[in-house]
Amino acid sequence: MQEVLRSGQLSAGGLSTAACEGLMRQHTGSAHVLLTHSCTAALELAAILSEVGPGDEVILPSFTFPSTANAFVLRGATPTFVDIRPDTLNLDETLVEAAITPRTRAIVAVHYAGVPCDLEALSAIAHRHGLLLIEDAAQAYLSSWQGRAAGTWGDLATFSFHGTKNLSCGEGGALLCNSASLARRAVTLRDKGTDRQAFLVGQVPRYSWIDCGTSAAIGELAAACLRAQLEEAEHITARRVAAWVRYDAALCGSLPKGFQTPVVPAAARHNGHLYYLLVPAELRDALLRHLAQAGIEACSHYEPLHTARAAARFASAPGPMLQSESLPARLVRLPLWCGISDVEIDQVVAEVRTFAERLPGRARALGA
């Protein structure tokens, strides 16, 4: 950040942005990375690049953040919600084809908790039907499916560097374009629809308006903060994964019936973004209160989008959404960050077990 201040360039497009994009190319293997001021901005760029409009449909899970749907609503397209899997909480790939209509233009795979969707299956479906595959990898930086980085399976992908993510600059994001033609246009869109980049390298005498676009770039101070995070990305991720593993070793298989710990498919490598429990709905709030009384901050999210007020105006849900509807009342996110200590994790585990042991009619000897 001091280097940025000394350089005098605080606006977007300087050396810190270039350094971040270079590090992301190394980490993901994608040739085309554009840093943005948020994952929301990256999703909106992806929606423009997908060329969807009024009358078009885009398949995505209901269990996601509103930005995933809003990006396409802003283009006039209709989000078509599909239910999630009960194990990974990701888009259920077995339900996707039934939701495809002649108006479907894209599938959006949201990688919940840093665990990738079944990208091989979704890629095959998209190819079979001539659809774009877009990865909302907001939570999945440095995750992979079958050894291939999340974000590189789809035509387009987005990442988040918001304050709640593994790597953060407060507010930030990135768009990956897995074709040169999409990347060329994405640069123009990010630069307010102008050929500014061509001007900066001397290809045109002045830049002008050549396409639709927006102001999606990130300032250099934020990029400098992110650069430091990206330089330590593998170390940060390893620390988070170690914390996740400690939780799982203590809790998986040792809680009463009705409690569920995260499931990671064999083909997936996750990044330790979240460790959560699914508990009986009638116990969720009581568990949150119990943890809060012990000085432990736990939380829950999301409300399914198909039940939101905006869905009646903008979206459709053609099939049953049993998993998406039951999940929010059962989800408890346990504390997890890069610097959490083993002692703190063990304290959380002990309080979860204490709560479980005190349940009327549910008490059982828990594993060590």
The token pair at 109 is: 């795979």
CA distance 147 to 91: 20
Closest C-alpha to 137, from 301, 15, 24, 13: 24
Phi-psi region of 106 (alpha: psi -120 to 50; beta: other; left: phi over 0): beta
Task: Report the sign of the C-alpha dihedral through residues 133, 139, 141, 145, in that order.
Answer: negative
Q: What is the pTM of this model?
A: 0.95
DSSP 296: -
pLDDT, averaged across the chain: 95
C-alpha neighbours within 13 Å on the C-beta side of residue 364: 10
* pLDDT on residue 162: 98
Instruction: List the strands of the sheet with 132-136, edge to edge.
Output: 33-36, 173-177, 156-160, 132-136, 104-110, 57-61, 78-82
User: Domain 233-357 sits in which CATH superfamily?
Assistant: Aspartate Aminotransferase, domain 1 (3.90.1150.10)
Please state the domain extents for the chain.
2-231, 233-357
């009384």: which residue's tokens? 293
Q: Give the pLDDT band of residue 368 (cuts 50, 70, 90).
A: very low
Q: Give the pLDDT band of residue 249 (cuts 50, 70, 90).
A: very high
Q: Give the pLDDT band of residue 367 (cuts 50, 70, 90).
A: very low
Q: Region 134-156: what's the mean pLDDT?
A: 98
The alpha-helical segments, DSSP class H, found in 34-73 are: 39-50, 66-73
CA distance 205 to 211: 18
CA distance 305 to 368: 39
Q: Tell which CATH classification among 3.40.50.1220, 3.30.70.260, 3.40.640.10, 3.40.47.10 matches the domain 2-231.
A: 3.40.640.10
